[in-house]
Amino acid sequence: GRLAGSLPVHFDSGKIEIIDGSLFSQGTGNLKITNNAAFDSVMQQQQELQPVLGLLTNLDIQKLNSSVALKNDGWLKLGVNLQGYNKQEQQQVNFNYNHEENVFTLLRALRLSDEITQKVEQQYSQKGN
């Protein structure tokens, strides 16, 4: 499906913020989750959520609304509301999810991971010659 929205980005003293951002669906869409290690891990670790999360694996989305806020210290607050229908289970779904994470810390960790991967690849290619 298609998304629209507003992400008001503010720059101040070299820092970035998103204040009162929103994303929403434009029409219907479909969510399919297959072969996703992170999703499968949550399903196994929190078995009490399996009946609910299982409905998301093939969901005809009727409506999606999301709120987005990013503080200048990197803390992201994301709220998502998905409304739809799972044909296989013949079940209407109203799913709410909130997530809070420091994306600056996440980006540093990803950059470090890339640097380690590059160094290992360089060492391996040098030994191969």
Q: What is the pTM of this model?
A: 0.76
What are the per-10-residue average pLDDT scores of the chain (129 residues)? 95 94 97 95 93 95 98 97 97 97 87 74 73
Report the run of H or E that residue 53 belongs to, with start and end.
helix 50-54
pLDDT of 119: 75
Residue 72 and residue 68: Cα distance in Å, rounded?
13
Domains of the chain by residue range:
2-102
pLDDT of 110: 77
pLDDT of 129: 59
Beta carbons of 63 and 38 less than 8 angstroms apart: no
What lies within 8 Å, CB to CB, of 108 at 6+ separation is none
